[in-house]
Every structure is written in structure tokens, then in C-alpha cells.
Amino acid sequence: MLKRFFLARQGLQVGPYTVNEVLEKLQSNEHAWNDYIFEESREDWMLILEHPLFSSKYNEGWARSTLSETATHPFHEKKWVVFKDEKKFGPFTYLEIVQMMQEKTLVEQDQLATLSQQEFKKIKEFEEFSAKKVKQLLSQGDRHVKEVFNRRRYPRAEFEGTLIVHDNKTVFRGQSFQISAGGAGLLIPSQALQPGQTLLLHFHPTRSVPAFNAVASVVSKLGSDLEMMGTPHKYGVRFTSLSQTIKDQIYTFTSTLNKKEAA
């Protein structure tokens, strides 16, 4: 039996497709290499370009736009290379990197270099990818930038809830302000948590989502370490362990809310 795959783009799941059908959709630009594909063996979504059955095609340059075809816009130059999990990926355009950061596929601790320099540094060391710079880009109203912010792995929604946070040393009482099936935005009264740190979370029940437990990794931190002890800090976390039932319920909740707001 031919293996078939589900794809996801802009929060919508489509498929299933065979390998050849996925390649046809990439060639016709119906789907992009940084869209997501569900791998049953991992029970999770991953970038198409990272999937073992497609990564070699990507690295060979198959069905990818050339620089001459996309040079009409400065954001389309494929000059950024990612070093992640002991592997190199790319090259990517500036907006592709920004998009992966928005989706938390890349975090500020991951490493990046340009084709011309090949000197890898942490993403947070590049001014081009600072939160301030990305906000400035969005405020310019460029349609290419807006497309990046509107195209996410999972739809997000405001979500006011309470939870218990455990970092294997200390227990905190936190609050959530945003949620998706892939992660959440949290307010935690501690400035000590750092990107890459693992947290154990227990979300209290709300009208929209039942109580659930999750293991999460800190991917972003907002707030100064000089602020007073106990002042809530904003953190972005990515769920690394979450039951499929809860993931489906969160996805349904956020999708429904997004549709109502768009109506």
C-alpha cells in the first residue's frame, strides 16, 4: 500500500496524498517547502523540506524558485542557511526565516549564517531578526510580510486561563493569554526561565478547553531581567508532549474562534 500524507497550510489540513502527489503540488506551487506534513511514526507535524522522503529533493534544488525568478523583491533572495539538530538546511529567503520564527520552527537559540559568510551565529545575534525589526516590517504594510504573519502552522487565539508551571525546581502559578494546538503564550511570575528550558504545565479547565497537562519548551521571553522579582514575564512555549485528543480540541476551539472573527 502506498504511504499517504496529510499536509497543512494556513491552519488547514488537506490530503492524504502519495509522495508523487506531494511532489506535484510542490512543483505547481500549490504547496511550499515550508508547509507542514504529518509523519505518523513521530505522531507530529514537520516541515516538508525536513522529511526524509523529501529533504534530498529540496537540497538538490528540485521545484524551487531560482534567484532570477524572485529577485523582484529584496525579501526573496535565498541567502540564509540554518544549522539545526547537527544538520544544515537552506538556503532560505529572509521572509522564510521570519515565518519559521513566527511558527516557532526556529527559536532564537538556533544558528544561522549567510551563503557568503558561512559563519554560524545564534539567530538572536542578527539584528535583522530582532523582535523590534520584525515589528517594524509588519508596520510597513508590505503584503509579502503580511502573508508570513497570516500563514501559521496552527491557528492561534486569545485564551485567558490559569495554570500551574513546574520547572523541576520551583512551582509557579501562571496565566495564559494565547493558545494554539502547538503552544501557548504565558504570564509567569519569574524572570529566570530561559529559551530551551523544559516546563511541566497543568492547565485548569475553562468553558472552551478541559483541564490538561503538557510538557513544553520555552521558545521566547519578553521582559527585562532587571524587573522586580515576582513581576509576570511573557513567555512563548511550544508543546513537546500533548495528547492528541487535547490537541484536536484546542485546534477546534482556535479554528472556530478565528472563523467567527473573520466573518
The burial class, CB within 10 Å (0-12 / 13-18 / 19+), for 204 is middle
Q: Which of the listed residues 62, 80, 106 is the one where a domain comes to its end?
A: 62
Query: What number of helices (H) and strands (E) belong to the chain?
Result: 7, 14
Q: What is the pLDDT of residue 71?
A: 41
Instruction: Report cis status (omega within 30 of 0) of the bond before 195.
Output: no
Task: Please answer whether residues 120 and 111 qualify as being in contact, where contact means their C-beta atoms are separated by less than 8 angstroms.
Answer: yes
DSSP string, 160-194: EEEEEEE-SS-EEEEEEEEEETTEEEEEES-S---
What's the CA gap between 193 and 126, in Å, rounded?
22
Q: What is the pLDDT of residue 204?
A: 93
Q: What is the pLDDT of residue 159?
A: 93
- Phi, psi (deg, nearest 5) at residue 87: -135, 155
For 225, residues 6+ apart whose C-beta sits below 8 A from its C-beta are 191
Q: Do residues 257 and 167 share a domain? A: yes
The three-class DSSP label of residue 11 is coil
Closest CA to 168 of 195, 130, 120, 201: 201
Q: Which domain holds residue 3?
A: 1-62
> Domain check: are 37 and 72 in the same one?
no
- What's the domain count of the chain? 3
For residues 14 and 53, membership in a common domain is answered with yes
pTM of this structure: 0.51
DSSP assignments along 101-146, one per residue: HHTTSS-TTSEEEETTT---EEGGG-GGGSHHHHHHHHHTT-HHHH
Residue 20 is part of a domain; what is its CATH number? 3.30.1490
Q: Let me know whether 56 and 134 are in one domain.
A: no
Residue pair 236/198 in contact (Cβ under 8 Å)? The answer is no
Q: pLDDT value at position 138?
A: 67
pLDDT for res 162: 94
Considering the domain architecture, whether residues 100 and 125 belong to the same structural domain is answered as yes
In a shared domain, residues 34 and 73: no
Task: Select from 17, 47, 62 the last residue of a domain.
Answer: 62
Can you tell me the distance from the alpha carbon of 259 to that of 263, in angstroms, rounded to the nearest whole number? 6
pLDDT per residue, tens digit, the chain (263 aa), is: 678 888 876 556 788 899 899 988 888 878 877 778 888 777 777 778 778 888 878 777 676 654 334 444 556 677 888 887 677 777 788 877 887 777 666 777 788 888 887 789 888 888 888 878 777 776 665 555 655 555 556 778 899 999 999 988 888 999 999 999 888 999 998 888 887 788 999 999 998 899 999 998 887 776 544 445 556 788 888 888 888 888 889 988 998 887 776 55
Q: How far, in Å, are 71, 170, 220 from residue 173 at the CA level?
A: 49, 10, 19
- Give dist(CA 92, CA 97) in Å, integer: 7
Distance of CA 17 to the CA centre of its chain: 23
Question: Nearest-CA neighbor of 154 among 7, 26, 10, 5?
Answer: 10
Looking at the structure, do residues 200 and 247 belong to the same domain, yes or no? Answer: yes
Same domain, 57 and 115: no
